[in-house]
């Protein structure tokens, strides 16, 4: 479209002209992210307890890391976290957002849809430490869920949710969905606010069923948001820490441990800061690679459409 048309100002001038806008961001980035990131990489080649002088030990931390079974188990659990924190919330949030926006909203008024949105968003507001206590009450073998199941005569269904390796990861995943859904929902509904409602009204008057409007209007319109939510929730899943920490501390017997928890354990408990730094360096590199793939797909998708 018009964006590619050459104009008198010339391409180079146009592009350079926006650079000052990047300056504040660049300074902040160097100080808060890049320098600490490089410092962390440097620390990963040392043995260090967090204070005192680090001792250079070359690749020892990395060699040890690749033989550490817990580390690999942690990455396997990351896949589960991506499902629970990225895939399900994105898909469910998209669907729910569309239902609230163009089904509930027009029929029951904006109050109904925004009230429901607020309800689904509220878990995001609760400090995770507190959410951990509350879900502990629910999922404990003597907790609310089992009490309800027993009360309904479904004794066979009641489980030692967080203590049994067979169910612990599933239980943690469930809480992650509960936490993340509201985020996806709110981003999608904000995105829908950009959409001209006339578009939906026209489609609806023309008799397009809801599912068809969802597929052909909602999803294409929300493409930028879908990518944003997809990528940010995937990144969040790869570095998830708090829900695991408060619910299971990685247990039982490392059945739910994740890379960030594993790194945290070495940073702050065993005082092996160098080892923790090596874990997070590998973790960050994996995240960057995944992010690059994601951004490439996104660029093809969105710029191809333009």
Partner 1 sequence: MSADATIAAQPTKRARARSSNEPDGRHGEGFGRYWVLALLVVAALLTLFPFFLAAINAIKTPTDYGANGPVALPRSFDLSALFAFWTGVEFGRKLWNSVLISGCVAFFGVALSLLNAYALGIGKVKGRNLILIVLMLGIMVPQESLVYPIYYLAKSVGLYDTRLSVIIVFTVLQSAFGTYMLSAVLTQFPREIIDAAEIDGASRLQVLWHVVIPVLRPTLTVLGTFFFIWTWNEFLLPLVLLISNDNQNVSVAMGTLHGQHVSDPTTTAAAALLGIVPTVIFFLVFQRTLMRGVTVGAVK
Partner 2 sequence: MIAKKRLTAALALSLALAAGSHGVARADDSDKTFKIWWYETPDSAMGIAWNKAIEEFKAKHPDVTIAFEQKSWDQIEKAGSLILNSGEAPDLLEYNKGNAIAGLAASQGLLTDLTDVAAERGWDKTLTSSELLLSRYDDRGIFGTGPIWGIPDYGEFVAVYYNKNMFKDLGLEVPKTLAEFEKVMDAFVAKGITPIATAANDYPAQHLLTELALSKATPEWVQSYQGLKAPLDPAPYLYGAQTLQDWVKKGYVSKDATGLKATDMETLFETGKAPMVVSGTWFGGGFKSKIKDFEWGQFLFPGNTISSGSTGNIWVVPKSAKHKDWAYEFIDITLSKDNQALLGNSGGVPVAADPASLTDPVGLMMTENFKVLADRNGLGFYPDWPAPGFYEVMLQKTQALIGGTITPEEFVEQISGPYNEAQAEAN
Q: How far is the CB of 141 from partner 2 (least distance, A)?
A: 4
Compute φ and ψ for 56, nearest 5 degrees: -70, 125
Q: Determine if 67 is a binding residue for partner 1 (CB under 8 A).
A: no
- Which of partner 2, partner 1, none binds 78 (CB below 5-8 Å, type-dependent)? none
Compute φ and ψ for 168, nearest 5 degrees: -60, -45
Nearest CA to 99 out of 210, 187, 186 is that of 210
- Which of partner 1, partner 2, none binds 69 (CB below 5-8 Å, type-dependent)? none
Q: Determine if 228 is a binding residue for partner 1 (CB under 8 A).
A: yes
- Among positions 241, 249, 251, 254, the unique one binding partner 1 when judged by CB under 8 A: 241
Residue window 188-227: x/- pattern of binding to partner 1, with contact defined by CB under 8 A: -xxx-xxxxxxx--xxxxxxxxxxx---xx--xx-xxx-x
Q: How far is the CB of 253 from partner 1 (least distance, A)?
A: 22
**Cα separation, 101 vs 192, whole angstroms:** 7
Q: How far is the CB of 35 from partner 2 (least distance, A)?
A: 18
Tokens at residue 285, please?
């590199």
**Selected range binding partner 1 among 67-75, 83-91, 118-126, 152-160, rule: CB under 8 A:** 118-126
User: Going by C-beta distance under 8 Å and a sequence separation of 6 or more, which residues neighbour residue 240?
Assistant: 81, 85, 176, 258, 260
Of residues 163-182, which lie at the interface with partner 1 (CB under 8 A)? 178, 181
Q: How far is the CB of 172 from partner 1 (least distance, A)?
A: 15
Residue window 37-56: x/- pattern of binding to partner 1, with contact defined by CB under 8 A: x-xx--x------x------
Helix axes 69-82 and 223-238, enclosed angle (nearest 10) = 150
- Element housing 251 (H / E): none
Q: Where are the beta strands (DSSP E) in the chain?
A: 46-47, 55-56
Q: How far is the CB of 267 from partner 2 (least distance, A)?
A: 9
**Cα separation, 225 vs 10, whole angstroms:** 32
Nearest CA to 261 out of 283, 244, 246 is that of 244
Q: Determine if 97 is a binding residue for partner 1 (CB under 8 A).
A: no
Q: Determine if 254 is a binding residue for partner 1 (CB under 8 A).
A: no
């Amino acid at each position: 479209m018009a964006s590619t048309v050459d104009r008198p100002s010339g391409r180079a001038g146009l592009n350079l002209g926006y650079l000052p806008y990047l300056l504040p961001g660049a300074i902040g980035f160097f100080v808060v992210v890049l320098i600490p990131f490089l410092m962390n990489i440097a620390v990963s080649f040392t043995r260090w307890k967090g204070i005192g002088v680090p001792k250079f030990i070359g690749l020892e931390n990395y060699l040890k890391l690749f033989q550490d079974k817990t580390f690999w188990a942690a990455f396997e659990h990351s896949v589960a976290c991506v499902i629970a924190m990225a895939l399900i919330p994105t898909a469910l949030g998209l669907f729910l957002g569309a239902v609230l926006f163009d089904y509930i909203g027009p029929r029951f008024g904006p109050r109904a849809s925004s009230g429901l949105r607020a309800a689904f968003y509220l878990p995001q507001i609760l400090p995770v430490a507190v959410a951990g206590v509350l879900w502990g009450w629910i999922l404990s073998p003597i907790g609310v869920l089992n009490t309800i199941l027993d009360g309904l005569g479904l004794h066979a269904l009641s489980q030692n949710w967080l203590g049994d390796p067979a169910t612990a990861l599933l239980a943690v995943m469930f809480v992650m969905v509960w936490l993340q859904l509201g985020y996806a929902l709110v981003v999608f509904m904000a995105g829908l606010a950009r959409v001209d409602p006339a578009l939906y009204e026209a489609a609806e008057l023309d008799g397009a069923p809801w599912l068809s409007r969802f597929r052909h209007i909602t999803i294409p319109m929300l493409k930028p948001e879908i990518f944003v939510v997809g990528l940010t929730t995937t990144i969040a899943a790869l570095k998830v820490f708090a829900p695991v920490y408060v619910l299971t501390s990685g247990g039982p017997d490392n059945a739910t441990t994740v890379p960030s928890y594993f790194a945290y354990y070495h940073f702050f408990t065993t005082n092996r800061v160098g080892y923790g730094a090596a874990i997070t360096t590998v973790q960050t590199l994996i995240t960057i690679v995944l992010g690059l793939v994601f951004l490439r797909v996104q660029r093809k998708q969105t710029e191809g459409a333009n």
